[in-house]
Amino acid sequence: MNDRLIISGIEFNSRLWVGTGKYRDFEETRKAIEASGTDVVTVAVRRVNILNRESENLLDYINPKKYKILPNTAGCYTVDDALRYARLAREAGISDMIKLEVIADEKTLFPDTEGLVKATKILVKEGFIVFPYTNDDPIVAKKLEDAGAAAVMPLGAPIGSGLGIRNPYNIKIILETVKIPVIVDAGVGTASDATIAMELGCDAVLINTGIAGARDPVAMAEAMKHAVIAGRLAFKAGRIPKKLYATASSPIEGMI
Amino acid sequence: MNDRLIISGIEFNSRLWVGTGKYRDFEETRKAIEASGTDVVTVAVRRVNILNRESENLLDYINPKKYKILPNTAGCYTVDDALRYARLAREAGISDMIKLEVIADEKTLFPDTEGLVKATKILVKEGFIVFPYTNDDPIVAKKLEDAGAAAVMPLGAPIGSGLGIRNPYNIKIILETVKIPVIVDAGVGTASDATIAMELGCDAVLINTGIAGARDPVAMAEAMKHAVIAGRLAFKAGRIPKKLYATASSPIEGMI
Amino acid sequence: MNDRLIISGIEFNSRLWVGTGKYRDFEETRKAIEASGTDVVTVAVRRVNILNRESENLLDYINPKKYKILPNTAGCYTVDDALRYARLAREAGISDMIKLEVIADEKTLFPDTEGLVKATKILVKEGFIVFPYTNDDPIVAKKLEDAGAAAVMPLGAPIGSGLGIRNPYNIKIILETVKIPVIVDAGVGTASDATIAMELGCDAVLINTGIAGARDPVAMAEAMKHAVIAGRLAFKAGRIPKKLYATASSPIEGMI
Amino acid sequence: MNDRLIISGIEFNSRLWVGTGKYRDFEETRKAIEASGTDVVTVAVRRVNILNRESENLLDYINPKKYKILPNTAGCYTVDDALRYARLAREAGISDMIKLEVIADEKTLFPDTEGLVKATKILVKEGFIVFPYTNDDPIVAKKLEDAGAAAVMPLGAPIGSGLGIRNPYNIKIILETVKIPVIVDAGVGTASDATIAMELGCDAVLINTGIAGARDPVAMAEAMKHAVIAGRLAFKAGRIPKKLYATASSPIEGMI
Amino acid sequence: MKLRVNGNIIETGANTVLELLEELNIKPERVAVEVNMKVLKKTEYRDFTLSEGDSIEIVNFVGGGYNE
Amino acid sequence: MKLRVNGNIIETGANTVLELLEELNIKPERVAVEVNMKVLKKTEYRDFTLSEGDSIEIVNFVGGGYNE
Amino acid sequence: MKLRVNGNIIETGANTVLELLEELNIKPERVAVEVNMKVLKKTEYRDFTLSEGDSIEIVNFVGGGYNE
Amino acid sequence: MKLRVNGNIIETGANTVLELLEELNIKPERVAVEVNMKVLKKTEYRDFTLSEGDSIEIVNFVGGGYNE
């Protein structure tokens, strides 16, 4: 079965996308990304250290010919900052793709959805392919679609929380509401979280802390690879209905 | 990493075991089993149809040289019946392995744990390698271990219910309580259920209805293959702690 | 223990607030409200039927001297409509309290949080005591507090869904984030949902469909009365920690 | 509505039953029991301290004329011990009621269900009214009913764990399976746990640690009183169906 | 004089909002009145004079919330 | 006469269970008594005579459940 | 000679289990045989002689688990 | 000439952005440059002349997301 993910005409081999933060070193980053089987890697945009030019660069380890580099606007707390970083990212890179983050609060790292919609509109006009990191509100997802976002990236749970998909009901409603791809971003703490996201019908999952923060990031990266494949296949295979027991005549409602 | 499952000296290549019931036909059975990547297949013991010898046999499709055949005592409601079927199974087959079922109730197919412990003791004395299908009571699991069971196979949820691991807490306590392998049997309805079972630390998962009853059994079989690998890897990789949000100082309790 | 709820200087005897929609008739409405023990009743603003003046009025059954009437802007899909209905409500009633609803989508009845914040700012300037119905995004809750809202009313789940508190984690974060009272609005389907909301530390719960849609609305109203009291008392009493079992040395994390 | 609980001809005013262990002192015990509104109190049987006769007695605080005293066989790890304590309890008290506990493991305090059924049969023959503390296995519940138990008392979760009703599905099946009353015993950690137990259709709830271990046991006792009333009323009132959102045509299955 | 009241064209002899309410047999305390999109204070009912073609909304409280 | 009562060896002048309870200042209503593993009925206390070395258990109700 | 085989009364000329299996065209490797409730070892098939009215069960593996 | 580069005041002989990057030993392909808050296209590096006191930002990709 050919089940490629295509967004704005770009074809993706993997439905697992990975971040590059929080790893011990570049070598561990490289190994984990390789084990994950991904072809999409998110990166941040930061000042070059002009005083010490020895320091290696991430791209010495992550070959841009092999991986699609998806720059993000991490750490931006205003629309203007997000726009500035997005434009720099485009010049530093080779593509129009931007993972748009407009963070509202440094404690929870929840997005400022109002600013997010504003920034999306502007960047879309400038020709960017925008992947906005948003909350799980279906209304905001719809506004982002209307603003021209290439996909929506709702959080499953707060960044780095490892709580998984806290509200699968909202994710399900988002999937009913928008036509653009839905990529769960943030919250995935272990393999089953990723599987559940895909079983809901999401198009992909982006994971950073869940892999980089594991005791063995490379093994967890491989776990996530299988988890996403498993969830996608299960979604398409069509699961059996839930019943109180097999001979029960009717499927059960969500009893608890 | 060599992470083979070894039970009573027998080495298993796969931590996903599959049943052979409820498939449309032998060909679908064969394809699903192949897609699952398993090397352990459970079968039932039934009368040969002596009136019509044309009918094909399951083993024409499932090569016993390629797969470990694990006969079960399905449909046995008394200790004596279970013993009788176990002994017949050993003669019909080539191994001492028996998946022991002493069913208490045909509505829920829950086991009669008291009879199960009795039958286990007897069969172990007769040299069987006993895999008892039990409930999720850690006390019963301990009794089965003391009775000489090769592994315990607690149900995640009622057979065919697709409810997944209803009580992960009990499974966790079973894992703390017994030294023999723990194989979740029954209840797995979709890939994430299998992943969760493995993340808890279970040694393997046995699935029948969850695969055979899916809209596309072959695709679901492949999903389950990846799901079990994902869960096992995640368990060994060591997941990140759950927090209300990343910057929260302490991990959270099971809030709801 | 004196544990009165006071908002903007107004003292409330009950932490259960009830709606008046979906009842069979006014008499059932009256009985249910009485059984609920509430002193806050939400009402909608609609055209008087000038062609048929016979029809009775809700206030013939709900005595405004006995109950605080909290008008809402139900059915308003734009900021302007919400402002218009709020202003009409104030003239029709006797207080400055308004339950502000700016609905974004008639399928899910989710709020348009951007419009909600706008409308809140304007109405607060006009001297209204604003109770905005919002989503469970802590960032939006903070914006509403900054806009001068008297309290925030996050949804537990979609209106009329009966799904309870889908994301207690977000409600918990809202409680950490804002200083104004938090009143769960929408989603409560049965008594335990209301109890859970109060155990999280919410200040009150508003229920309409959960009571009016029950097979026996009057009995469910009484159930909700006890449920809210139970949850409030439990919250203040300080529950025991969750452990895998009593003798376990440490509280457990949210295992599943 | 007259909704009295009657077991073996004995009428109970309260559906909340409470234990007497783990309180700071007799006075706190008395206050908590009073606040709970219960009329059933469980007690243990222990040696009189013959060396120091000064020490007060529990019954100086819990008036047997006001409360039904339900002795238990706590701490009994064998059938013989349980029988011995049950017989002593009957002589020490005034009734034939016994809360039968045959504990299998001191770490988890799970029951030995095999021994429990044996002891139940014997005590029933001796004229006892037996309330067995059991696991949540519907098969065992049926065996206890067949053995003549007056009610079954399945655990919601391990004693003192505060995990609530870990497997509501099993409790629901038990309610479908037996005709005798079902009283949840053990596991209730906060008010909503008790409400949920009653909403499932259980006839009563027994709580000890959940009240005695709370920061404010008297307040938690009152919380539990309301929680049980709320759950019972909600069960009888008939809750609204769960839907993904109000306008969804069909109720949802247990999505997660 | 013709007025649009709650979407209906009616013929009335009332010159003020108060007269209109009386004519329609509506108690002023329990309603709010909007004339040509402007919400009136109750104190204005007596003196606010109506003109041919005015669009008037008279609302009151009903059971309901959300969109029922 | 020497008896084992609740695990303690005691010297007593009591000849019956009732006398023993009185000597120990224990109200009979609220306790149960076991002599040499046999549970007595309250009605037996008066007449049940004790012998040298009898093992006696006297129990009553205390707060508790499970294993506390 | 009449035998009860898998619940059916059949007329057979077979004297041993092995002959019976051959007559029924059943491969011995894949089945198990029970005669009058006694399970036979495969090695016994050749020599185990049957008698009038014996009750015989011949089973093999089929797809299934639990009660399907 | 003095410039502010990435927050540091430096003394440079470079007249264009490209010369500055060469002086700083930075490969142009992998960075983006902003001069006085204006983001430059790579094609502008060669000809964009710098003036005393210009504020320049030179950024590249690093591992990270969110706020790390």
Residues contacting D24, CB < 8 A, separation 6+: none
Residue among A114, A170, A173 minimizing CB distance to C114: A114
Tell me the nearest-neighbour CA distance from G47 into chain B, angstroms: 17
Cα–Cα separations (whole angstroms), residue C79 to C107, E41, F23: 19, 22, 87
Contact D154, D185 (CB under 8 A): yes
Q: What is the pLDDT of residue D255?
A: 36
pLDDT for E36 beyond 50: yes
Helix axes B168-177, B138-146, angle to 10 degrees: 30
Is residue H34 less than 8 Å (CB to CB) from chain A?
Answer: yes
Q: What is the mean pLDDT of residues H37-51?
A: 93
Nearest to C192 by CA among A250, D202, A163: D202
pLDDT for A253 beyond 90: no
Helix axes A79-92, A113-125, angle to 10 degrees: 40
What percent of chain C has pLDDT above 70? 95
pLDDT band at C255 (very low <50, low <70, confident <90, very high): very low
Question: How many CB atoms within 10 Å of residue B179?
Answer: 6
Tell me the nearest-neighbour CA distance from B227 into chain G, angstroms: 22
Question: How many CB atoms within 10 Å of residue F29?
Answer: 12
Catalytic pick from C99, C107, C118, C242? C99
Catalytic pick from D68, D99, D143, D225? D99
Tell me the nearest-neighbour CA distance from C197 into chain A, angstroms: 15
pLDDT for A1 beyond 80: no
pLDDT for B249 beyond 70: no
Nearest to C23 by CA among C206, C207, C212: C212
Measured between beta carbons, the chain C residues lying within 8 angstroms of D191 are 195, 199, 230-231, 233-234
**Chains with at least 3 CB pairs less than 8 angstroms from chain C:** A, B, D, E
pLDDT for G57 beyond 90: yes
Place of tokens 């339900």: D70
Nearest to A7 by CA among A164, A213, A178, A222: A178
For β-strands E31-35 and F8-11, DSSP reports them as unpaired
**CA nearest D225 in C: which residue?**
C230
For β-strands B97-100 and B129-134, DSSP reports them as parallel
Q: Residues 45-64, chain H: which have Cβ within 8 Å of A? A: 57-64
Residues contacting C9, CB < 8 A, separation 6+: none
Give the residue, D230 or B58, on which the prediction is more confident: D230
Cα–Cα separations (whole angstroms), residue H28 to A51, B119, H21, H23: 17, 76, 7, 12
DSSP A59: G
Rounded distance between C-alpha atoms, residue H49 and residue H35, angstroms: 10
Strand partners, B68: B40
Question: pLDDT by residue for chain D (256 residues), tens digit each?
Answer: 578 999 999 999 999 999 999 999 999 999 999 999 999 999 999 988 888 766 678 888 999 999 999 999 998 999 999 999 999 999 998 899 999 999 999 999 999 999 999 999 999 999 999 999 999 999 999 999 999 999 999 999 998 899 999 999 999 999 999 999 999 998 999 999 999 999 999 999 999 999 999 999 999 999 999 999 999 999 999 999 999 887 765 554 443 3
Catalytic pick from A31, A65, A99, A142? A99
Size of interface A-C (CB pairs under 8 A): 68
DSSP one-letter string for F47-67: T-B--TT-EEEEEEEES--TT
Size of interface A-D (CB pairs under 8 A): 40
B99 is catalytic: yes
Q: What is the pLDDT of residue B102?
A: 96
Helix axes B191-199, B217-237, angle to 10 degrees: 20
pLDDT for C150 beyond 70: yes
Amino acid at D74: A
Give the residue, G8 or B55, on which the prediction is more confident: G8
pLDDT for B1 beyond 60: no
pLDDT for B57 beyond 60: yes
pLDDT for A110 beyond 90: yes
Q: What is the pLDDT of residue E17?
A: 95
pLDDT for G68 beyond 60: no
Tell me the nearest-neighbour CA distance from A169 into chain D, angstroms: 7
Rounded distance between C-alpha atoms, residue C52 and residue E25, angstroms: 10
Q: What is the mean pLDDT of residues B25-47?
A: 95
- Token pair recorded at residue F60: 């009553």
Helix, strand, coil shares of chain C, percent, nearest 5, are 35, 20, 45
Q: What is the pLDDT of residue D49?
A: 84
pLDDT for B254 beyond 50: no
The per-residue b/e assignment along B2-16, b for 16 or more CB within 10 angstroms, e otherwise, is: eeebebeeeebebbb
Nearest to D38 by CA among D1, D69, D6, D3: D69
Rounded distance between C-alpha atoms, residue A85 and residue G45, angstroms: 83
Chain D residues with CB under 8 Å of a chain B CB are: 104-105, 108, 110-114, 117, 135, 137-140, 142, 157-158, 161, 163, 166-167, 169-170, 173, 177, 254
Which tens digits make up the pLDDT trace of B134-149?
999 999 999 999 999 9
Q: What is the mean pLDDT of residues A203-222?
A: 97
Q: What is the pLDDT of residue E66?
A: 52
pLDDT band at G67 (very low <50, low <70, confident <90, very high): very low
Size of interface D-F (CB pairs under 8 A): 119
pLDDT band at A173 (very low <50, low <70, confident <90, very high): very high
Measured between beta carbons, the chain A residues lying within 8 angstroms of D251 are 253
Q: What is the mean pLDDT of residues A120-139?
A: 98
The dihedral through the CA atoms of H14, H16, H22, H26 has a sign that is: positive
For β-strands D153-154 and D183-185, DSSP reports them as unpaired
Burial of A155 (0-12, 13-18, 19+ CB in 10 A): buried
The most distant pair of C-alpha atoms in chain C lies apart, rounded to whole Å, by 72
Which tens digits make up the pLDDT trace of A178-212?
999 999 998 999 999 999 999 999 999 999 999 99
DSSP F16: B
The dihedral through the CA atoms of D211, D213, D216, D218 has a sign that is: positive
Measured between beta carbons, the chain A residues lying within 8 angstroms of H68 are 21-22, 44, 74
pLDDT for A47 beyond 70: yes
Q: What is the pLDDT of residue C94?
A: 80
Residue among B196, B242, B245 minimizing CB distance to C253: B242
Q: What is the pLDDT of residue A41?
A: 96
Contact B38, B14 (CB under 8 A): yes
**CB contact (8 A) between residue A245 and residue B158:** yes
Q: What is the mean pLDDT of residues A97-105?
A: 96
Best mutation target, A22, A48, A109, to test chain H (most H CBs within 10 A): A48
Contact B76, G64 (CB under 8 A): no
pLDDT band at C197 (very low <50, low <70, confident <90, very high): very high
DSSP B241: P
**CB contact (8 A) between residue D255 and residue A173:** no
pLDDT for C250 beyond 50: yes
pLDDT band at C81 (very low <50, low <70, confident <90, very high): very high
Measured between beta carbons, the chain C residues lying within 8 angstroms of B196 are 256
Rounded distance between C-alpha atoms, residue G68 and residue H5, angstroms: 76
Q: What is the mean pLDDT of residues B107-114?
A: 95
The alpha carbons of chain D give a radius of gyration, in whole angstroms, of: 18
- Token pair recorded at residue D126: 């001796």
Q: What is the mean pLDDT of residues B216-241?
A: 97
Cα–Cα separations (whole angstroms), residue H19 to C77, E31, H49: 58, 77, 9
Q: Backbone phi, then psi, for B207, in 5-degree steps?
A: -130, 135
Q: What is the pLDDT of residue C1?
A: 52
Q: What is the pLDDT of residue F67?
A: 44
pLDDT for A60 beyond 50: yes
Q: In what order do the strands lie in the sheet with D97-100?
A: D97-100, D129-134, D153-154
Tell me the nearest-neighbour CA distance from A156 into chain D, angstroms: 14
Q: Backbone phi, then psi, for C7, in 5-degree steps?
A: -125, 125
Residues contacting A253, CB < 8 A, separation 6+: D241, D242, D251, D252, D253, D254
